[in-house]
Amino acid sequence: MSAHCRLCGRSVTDTASLPNEATRRVSCRVCGEYEIDGRAWHQFAEMTTDPSDRHLLSALARTAPVRGVDRVRVGTDLFVALLEGRIRERTFVEKRDGLLDWIAYESRKNPRSAYGAALEFNPQVDYPVAYCRPLNGDWAEWNFISQPLRDRGLIDTPENGKLRITDKGWEQLESRPKASGAQGFIAMAFKEMDPIRDAIWAGIERAGYKPMRIDRDEFVGGIMDRVVAHIRESRFVVADFTQNRGGVYYEAGFAFGLGVPVFTICRHDHLEGPDRVHFDVQHLNLLTWEEGKLPELTEHLEARIVAVLGRGPVTPPKT
């Protein structure tokens, strides 16, 4: 059955509805694969009406595999978020780096692929990988984003219509901190802290990111090796200094050193007294929590993450 993509307007094959009622799975050359529920399918039907910034959803859907997140599910919440301007436009640096990340992912999504492969690339359909608007004859933004990658020797065009990451480009990619995904790493004491963990977990999910705590992870080898690897892969770290555990200070310091954003929290009685947090972190903007008021922690943590990083690409779970 032929239909048009609700995000970019191009003709697509409307696949069979998924088991959960009227949800559809759409495969689009521009937007990649995404799911859309029945109500949103009708809300987004008219391409000439608001919301007009649908390229932001095209980008989230198309780059989901690069960012290591599940297939994007488009619902009424995203329709309203677009109308209210709550899905932010990416910065120039994020767009430029997003383009480089996508080329790298496509080049190496098969681990056995050789370095130096050139990819077929058509900006008129591949523009979402750089979080651009549809070109529609205006290539100014696309050229402004992609040209610096060429000028700096990070990509080249060995053949017409193809792009390739150069050795200099791979060197930059493989030496930089991996902090562009959707994961939020939780550093905190383990013992008797499950309610706090759950409140932090919920705050990260509600902000649109995927929580990670090492005690829930399957790992082989030294645990600190896994901690370091997960922090490198995370978009940010939430560090709870309650109980003043040395491991939490280490993990937060490691993230700070990599330039990974760290959101610092502690129990309210740790701002002073015998359990006061170490003086090295007292100057930080610590978010405090109290027993019996953990929903407030979830709410305030969500707000702080969104204020600093913007809302993440993962659809929050329904409550």
Angle between helices 92-108 and 167-175 (to 10 degrees): 110
CA atoms of 270 and 274, how far apart (whole Å): 8
Residue 151 and residue 195 in one domain: no
Q: Give the range of the structural domain holding residue 106, as residue numbers without chain letter.
A: 92-175
Residue 220 and residue 255 in one domain: yes
Residue 123 · residue 137 · CB < 8 Å: no
pLDDT tens-digit map of 98-113? 899 899 888 887 777 7
Residue 195 and residue 303 in one domain: yes
Residue-by-residue pLDDT tens, the chain, 319 positions: 568 899 998 888 655 555 545 788 899 999 999 888 888 888 888 888 888 889 988 998 898 887 655 677 888 877 887 888 777 788 888 889 889 989 988 888 777 778 888 888 899 999 999 999 999 888 999 999 999 999 999 999 888 878 899 999 999 887 765 445 789 999 998 777 889 999 999 999 999 999 988 764 443 334 666 788 788 888 999 999 998 888 888 888 888 878 788 999 998 888 877 888 876 676 677 888 888 899 999 999 998 888 888 788 887 776 6
Element housing 212 (H / E): strand 210-212
Please, what's the b/e burial string for 65-89 (b: 16 or more CB within 10 A of its CB; e: otherwise)?
Answer: ebbebeebbbbeebbebbeeeebee
Residue 117 and residue 190 in one domain: no
pLDDT at 152: 94
- Residue 184 DSSP SS3: strand
Please, what's the b/e burial string for 230-265 (b: 16 or more CB within 10 A of its CB; e: otherwise)?
Answer: bbbbbbbbbbbbbbebeebbebbebbeebebbbbbb
Residue 42 lies in a domain: yes
CA atoms of 241 and 233, how far apart (whole Å): 22
Residue 316 lies in a domain: no
pLDDT at 124: 92
Tell me the CATH number at 239. 3.40.50.450
pLDDT at 136: 87
Residue 114 and residue 75 in one domain: no
pLDDT at 164: 92
pLDDT tens-digit map of 147-206? 999 999 999 988 887 889 999 999 988 776 544 578 999 999 877 788 999 999 999 999
Tell me the CATH number at 119. 1.10.10
Residue 32 and residue 144 in one domain: no
Residue 118 and residue 165 in one domain: yes
- The number of folded domains in the chain is 3
Residue 278 lies in a domain: yes
Q: According to DSSP H, which parts of 122-214 are helical?
A: 123-126, 140-151, 167-175, 194-206
CA atoms of 132 and 66, how far apart (whole Å): 16
Residue 66 and residue 99 in one domain: no
pLDDT at 109: 78
Residue 161 and residue 200 in one domain: no
Local structure of residue 24 (DSSP, 8 states): E
**Dihedral through CA 66, CA 68, CA 73, CA 79, nearest 10?**
-60
Task: Out of 175, 194, 226, pick the residue that ends a domain.
Answer: 175
pLDDT at 15: 57
Residue 317 lies in a domain: no
Residue 67 and residue 151 in one domain: no
Residue 112 and residue 69 in one domain: no
- Residue 158 DSSP SS3: coil
Residue 208 lies in a domain: yes
Residue 303 lies in a domain: yes
Residue 314 lies in a domain: no
Residue 293 and residue 193 in one domain: yes
pTM for the full predicted model: 0.58
For the sheet with 24-28, list strands across it.
Answer: 2-4, 11-17, 24-28, 32-36, 73-74
Dmax over CA atoms of the chain, in Å, equals 68
What is the CA angle 174-157-58, rounded to 5?
Answer: 70
CA atoms of 261 and 185, how far apart (whole Å): 10
pLDDT at 246: 86
CA atoms of 155 and 18, how far apart (whole Å): 40
Closest CA to 183 of 206, 208, 203: 208
Task: Out of 57, 83, 109, pick the residue that ends a domain.
Answer: 83
Task: Out of 49, 83, 117, pick the residue that ends a domain.
Answer: 83
**Which positions ≥6 away from 208 have C-beta within 8 Å?**
182, 306, 311, 312, 313, 314, 315, 316
Where do we find the tokens 């979402």? 128
CA atoms of 8 and 43, how far apart (whole Å): 14
Residue 318 lies in a domain: no
